[in-house]
């Protein structure tokens, strides 16, 4: 496996950065998770826009233009001879001292690109549907650490994931500070009620899979709403599913012990999954492994 590290390809064992890197010391950085499907990097420009927007707010200067970053990602896929991959792009503030003052990071941001395979959930869960719970850890407040930022500080989500795992679940619903449904630890959430698709309008990451599903629903004359959502509405929905680059679309059949709809992946969920599997082979930046 070859890892992109600040413009060079290095073996996995040699892909190291300093212990004074502020991404390591403080989670001070940004990341993206992207997928490539059969030589097509899905929605690459949307992922790059989000990465550069997170860096902008964190005031981290990425030493590559978006075009250069795109080329670095494609080069990493080629170096690893991968047409299908999960791509992780990591940008840290770089090396500083032991204080958290970002002004001490005088060098360049560190950039790492890893291309690998990922299967987030067991295959049978995609067929049977997943059971999830709501956990006590509240999603970060937008005016504390905005969930729109895909920063390296994922402890809010990890604490929620630990609570889910401790109770024997793979994924958890996180509520916002007002008690409304925000999202899951690494996925956005959708419900369908009487043919209308809804997803939370606030307190969540603006997921690229989420946006894609909303576009697909719209194209197929399904009514889509972004709105405030309560747990009760999730419990009494006809269908529920989660979306994310790593997870793609995964049906949910039970939430906090309440059976959703018929207790199996819903018809509209399966239809949207079919459309999603088509669009991921159509939209994005194409590359080939030929020299």
What residue ranges bind ligand PXG (CB under 6 A)? 33, 120, 157, 183, 186-188, 205, 207-210, 243-246
227-230-260 Cα angle (round to 5): 105
Least distance CB 180 / ligand PXG (angstroms): 15
Strand segments (E) across 163-266:
172-175, 181-184, 188-193, 196-200, 223-227, 239-244, 248-255, 258-259
Measured from the CB atom, is 110 or 188 closer to ligand PXG? 188
Token pair recorded at residue 283: 């939209």
Q: Please list, in sequence order, all residues whose beta carbon lies within 8 angstroms of the beta carbon of residue 206, skipping any fewer than 6 positions away.
A: 50, 148
Measured from the CB atom, is 25 or 189 closer to ligand PXG? 189
Closest by CA position to 70, among listed 44, 93, 51: 44
| Distance between CA atoms of residues 187 and 231, nearest Å | 16
Least distance CB 96 / ligand PXG (angstroms): 25
| Distance between CA atoms of residues 228 and 230, nearest Å | 7
Measured from the CB atom, is 2 or 204 closer to ligand PXG? 204
Least distance CB 119 / ligand PXG (angstroms): 11
Least distance CB 241 / ligand PXG (angstroms): 12
Question: CA dist 129 to 80, 191, 249, 265, Å?
Answer: 33, 14, 10, 6
Least distance CB 285 / ligand PXG (angstroms): 16
Q: Which of 104, 150, 254, 271 is catalytic?
A: 150
| Distance between CA atoms of residues 212 and 188, nearest Å | 12
Q: How many residues does the chain have?
A: 291
Radius of gyration, CA atoms only, the chain: 19
Measured from the CB atom, is 183 or 239 closer to ligand PXG? 183
Least distance CB 253 / ligand PXG (angstroms): 19
Cβ burial, residue 113 (10 Å; 0-12/13-18/19+): buried
Q: Which residue has the tokens 């401790």?
A: 166
Active site residue 150: yes
Where in the sequence numbering do the catalytic residues fall?
Answer: 150
């Amino acid at each position: 496996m070859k890892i992109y590290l600040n413009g060079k390809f290095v073996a996995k064992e040699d892909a190291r950065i300093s212990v004074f890197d502020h991404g390591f010391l403080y989670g001070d950085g940004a990341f993206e998770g992207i997928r490539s499907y059969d030589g097509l990097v899905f929605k690459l420009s949307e992922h790059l826009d989000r990465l550069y927007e997170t860096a902008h707010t964190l005031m981290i200067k990425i030493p590559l233009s978006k075009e250069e970053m795109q080329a670095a990602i494609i080069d990493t896929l080629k170096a690893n001879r991968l047409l299908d991959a999960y791509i992780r792009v990591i940008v840290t503030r770089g090396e500083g001292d032991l204080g958290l003052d970002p002004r001490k990071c005088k060098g360049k941001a560190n950039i790492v690109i890893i291309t690998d395979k990922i299967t987030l959930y067991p295959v049978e869960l995609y067929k049977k549907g997943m059971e999830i719970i709501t956990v006590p850890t509240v999603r970060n407040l937008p005016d504390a650490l905005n969930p729109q930022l895909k920063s390296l500080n994922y402890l809010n989500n990890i604490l929620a994931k630990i609570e889910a795992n401790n109770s024997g679940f793979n994924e958890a619903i996180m509520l916002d500070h007002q008690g409304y449904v925000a999202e899951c630890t690494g996925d956005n959430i959708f419900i369908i009620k009487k043919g209308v698709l809804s997803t939370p309008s606030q307190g969540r990451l603006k997921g690229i899979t989420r946006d894609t599903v909303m576009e697909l629903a719209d194209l197929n004359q399904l009514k889509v709403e972004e709105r405030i959502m309560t747990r009760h509405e999730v419990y009494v929905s006809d269908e529920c599913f989660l979306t994310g680059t790593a997870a793609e679309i995964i049906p949910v059949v039970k939430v906090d012990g309440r059976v959703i709809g018929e207790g199996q992946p819903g018809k509209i969920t399966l239809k949207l999954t079919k459309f999603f599997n088509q669009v991921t082979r159509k939209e994005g930046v194409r590359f080939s492994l030929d020299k």
